[in-house]
Structure 1
């Protein structure tokens, strides 16, 4: 059986194909995606694939793995995502059970201007 890390690496490779329905192969039958920032939950691989396929894009989505932290059944990734016009970062917490992703919790942080009150303490 594949390790949790191997499953998540395959997940991102399949996402990079832009054939989002192919990703269902690495998702558990009871897969759940949660986006705490917007309060949304998506149940099932087919809905996950459909959401990604329907998301407005200006071109092919590209995924660049920036950080990868793995334990026995959990993996955390930081991925830069762009379609050539839109850019975002996803911080993703994967739970892998029986060789498939059963749960994914994602955070999509927005960049912001640093507060001036700490300028004397930080570097740009």
Structure 2
């Protein structure tokens, strides 16, 4: 049985091909992709493919996985995603069973400037 960390890494590798159906081939028949910040739920591989194919991107998408944590049926990834003009960071929670991804919950946090009041206690990292 393939663990969730391995499936998550494979998912991001396949996303990097920009062949959305290749990534969707890892989904269980009852896939659920949740975006809590907007309240959206994607309930099928077909809808996932359509959203990615129709996204108004500025170029080819790239996916740089910074970290994968997990084993067994659960994994978390931190991934930098860019279309050459816009770069975002996604934190994704993968739930897997029977060598398939059954659920992904993704958080797309917006960057913000660190408040000046705490500068004496922190180091600013820009990587």
Instruction: Please tell me the TM-score bracket, short chain as reference.
Output: over 0.9
Give, in whole Å, the separation in 2 of the partners of 1:8 and 1:117.
38
- Matched-pair contact (CA < 8 Å) for 2:36–2:106: yes
Give, in whole Å, the separation in 1 of the partners of 2:43 and 2:71.
24
User: What per-residue deviation string (whole Å, max 9, x for no partner) do you get for residues 19-51 of structure 1?
Assistant: 101222100100001011111111011111111
Alignment of 1:1-124 (within 5 A): 1-124=1-124
Give, in whole Å, the separation in 1 of the partners of 2:24 and 2:63.
18
Query: TM-score with structure 2 length normalisation?
Result: 0.93
Structure 1 unaligned segments of length 5 or more: list them.
none
- Matched-pair contact (CA < 8 Å) for 2:93–2:104: yes
- Matched-pair contact (CA < 8 Å) for 1:76–1:92: yes
Distance 1:120 1:6, change over 3 A: closer
| CA shift for structure 1 position 68 | 0.5
User: What per-residue deviation string (whole Å, max 9, x for no partner) do you get for residues 65-87 of structure 1?
Assistant: 10000121001000001111010
- Matched-pair contact (CA < 8 Å) for 1:80–1:87: yes
| CA shift for structure 1 position 3 | 2.3
- Matched-pair contact (CA < 8 Å) for 2:8–2:75: yes
Q: SS at the partner of 2:67? A: strand
Query: TM-score with structure 1 length normalisation?
Result: 0.95
Moved more, 111-120 or 66-75: 111-120
Give, in whole Å, the separation in 2 of the partners of 1:91 and 1:2.
21
Give, in whole Å, the separation in 2 of the partners of 1:77 and 1:99.
18
